[in-house]
């Protein structure tokens, strides 16, 4: 299948009306289409398709680079052939923290992807968050009309990014209200065409159900009322999924262990690990590291109670650098010559410079 988006765009995305009796239906269809694509701009299509308006075309096989199959010895052009490469947003859910982040900052950025959302908006969207919603709409439309698998994967990645943000909900509530409204509208039209890619049954929508549940839990814990509109929009979305789609999105208590009956009548005990990440259990459980006395000394930790209280003490190298700075203020200059001397805590002296400083100090006094 092939779509000439340039021609559709020039025709203003308006369906052809064959008779006056079809005017009402045509207007309703046109309004739905506008609602499904209101954030798709000319600049967005130019970026994604990397072409001018005369050559906006893509097919079911068009793919983004991150969705290429990695086959040794074959380049991207060999894999795509004559198909157009899609320049979709580079959403990397495996690294959602800034360069150089370590420790607690890295852990928090992995759990709350607000930094990744802001970074994506700054680097690729000229600080226009509507472009992210626009790409969400574009991918949905291409899945619905062309069965484009790469667009389906990007649609899932963008939803995964948006619905795992927490702190950004209070700073950009209007963006999340619009994103949730877009998701609701897409779910309403997800079965308009039997593509087979959108499985909105209670069993098939596990991905989206888990994201919505996690997002609901996260924003319910946020203080203040700056995100009240987001909560209302999310409640409307959850109500629609339950009433129209029959989704059972569990909230509160749920069974973690139970007995499963097999076809032959045998019963086996099963464990539910779907919420291990939220509960920090299973493979997501914190790792306990036991430090020796030497390691604690190198890290500047004097006691376990100090760690429990969250007190931060400079490590060995920091302490040596501080000693050098303090000594420099007193008229001395130290130089660390090797790692071995640093570990021993014995900074090396430059004797010639020390003597010169002493003489200058004596001249100043007398």
What pLDDT score does 30 carry? 67
Question: Helices 130-146 and 173-188 meet at what angle, rounded to 10?
Answer: 10
Q: Are strands 85-86 and 63-64 parallel, antiparallel or unpaired?
A: parallel
Domain residue extents for the chain? 2-243, 293-365
- Average pLDDT estimate for 157-176: 95
What pLDDT score does 334 carry? 42
Q: Is the pLDDT of residue 131 over 70?
A: yes
Q: Tell me if residue 14 falls in helix, strand or coil.
A: coil
Both structure tokens of 364 = 């100043």
How far apart CA 308 and CA 331 sit, in angstroms, is 39
- Average pLDDT estimate for 303-315: 55
How far apart CA 303 and CA 118 sit, in angstroms, is 39
- Express as a percent the part of the chain with pLDDT over 90: 31
Residues facing 228 on adjacent strands: none
- State which fold the 2-243 domain adopts: 1.25.40
Both structure tokens of 110 = 């992995």
Q: How far apart are the first and last CA of the chain?
A: 94
How far apart CA 60 and CA 205 sit, in angstroms, is 23
How far apart CA 167 and CA 152 sit, in angstroms, is 27
Both structure tokens of 202 = 């209670």
Question: Helices 173-188 and 23-37 meet at what angle, rounded to 10?
Answer: 140
Both structure tokens of 100 = 């150089």
CA 125 to chain centre: 15
What pLDDT score does 320 carry? 52
Q: Mind listing the pLDDT tens digit for each residue in 178-212?
A: 999 999 999 998 877 776 677 777 666 888 998 99
Q: Is the pLDDT of residue 339 over 60?
A: no
What pLDDT score does 178 carry? 96
CA 54 to chain centre: 34
- Average pLDDT estimate for 5-28: 56
Q: Mind listing the pLDDT tens digit for each residue in 237-265?
A: 999 999 988 888 766 555 667 788 888 88
How far apart CA 118 and CA 124 sit, in angstroms, is 10
DSSP H/E element including 264: none
Rounded to two decimals, the pTM is 0.67
| Mean pLDDT of all residues belonging to the chain | 77
Residue that has been written with the tokens 């010895």 in this structure: 73
pLDDT bin (cut points 50, 70, 90) of residue 165 is very high
- Helix-, strand-, coil-residue percentages of the chain, each rounded to 5: 55, 5, 40
């Amino acid at each position: 299948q092939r779509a000439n988006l340039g021609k559709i765009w020039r025709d203003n995305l308006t369906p052809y009306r064959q008779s006056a009796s079809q005017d009402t239906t045509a207007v309703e269809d046109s309004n739905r289409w506008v609602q499904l694509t209101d954030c798709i701009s000319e600049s967005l299509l130019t970026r994604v398709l990397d072409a001018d308006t005369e050559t906006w075309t893509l097919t079911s096989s068009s793919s983004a680079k991150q969705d290429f199959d990695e086959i040794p010895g074959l380049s991207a052009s060999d894999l795509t052939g004559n198909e157009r490469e899609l320049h979709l947003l580079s959403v990397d859910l495996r690294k959602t923290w800034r360069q150089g982040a370590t420790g607690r900052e890295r852990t928090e950025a992995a759990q709350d992807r607000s930094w990744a959302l802001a970074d994506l908006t700054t680097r690729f969207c000229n600080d226009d968050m509507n472009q992210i919603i626009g790409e969400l709409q574009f991918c949905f439309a291409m899945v619905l009309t062309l069965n484009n698998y790469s667009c389906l994967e990007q649609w899932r990645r963008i939803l995964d990014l948006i619905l795992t943000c927490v702190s950004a909900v209070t700073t950009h509530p209007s963006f999340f209200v619009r994103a949730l409204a877009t998701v609701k509208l897409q779910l309403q039209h997800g079965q308009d065409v039997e593509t087979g890619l959108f499985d909105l049954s209670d069993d098939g929508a596990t991905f989206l159900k888990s994201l919505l549940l996690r997002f609901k839990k996260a924003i319910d814990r946020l203080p203040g009322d700056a995100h009240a509109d987001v909560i209302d929009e999310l409640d409307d979305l959850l109500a629609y999924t339950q009433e129209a789609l029959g989704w059972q999105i569990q909230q509160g208590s749920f069974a973690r262990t139970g007995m499963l009956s097999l076809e032959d009548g045998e019963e086996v005990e099963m464990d539910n690990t779907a919420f291990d990440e939220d509960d920090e259990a299973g493979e997501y459980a914190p790792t306990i590291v036991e430090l020796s006395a030497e390691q604690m000394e190198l890290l500047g930790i004097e006691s376990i109670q100090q760690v429990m209280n969250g007190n931060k003490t400079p490590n060995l190298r920091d302490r040596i650098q501080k000693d050098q700075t303090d000594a420099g203020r007193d008229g001395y200059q130290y130089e660390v010559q090797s790692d071995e001397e640093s570990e021993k805590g014995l900074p090396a002296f430059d004797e010639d410079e020390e003597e010169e400083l002493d003489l200058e100090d004596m001249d100043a006094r007398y």
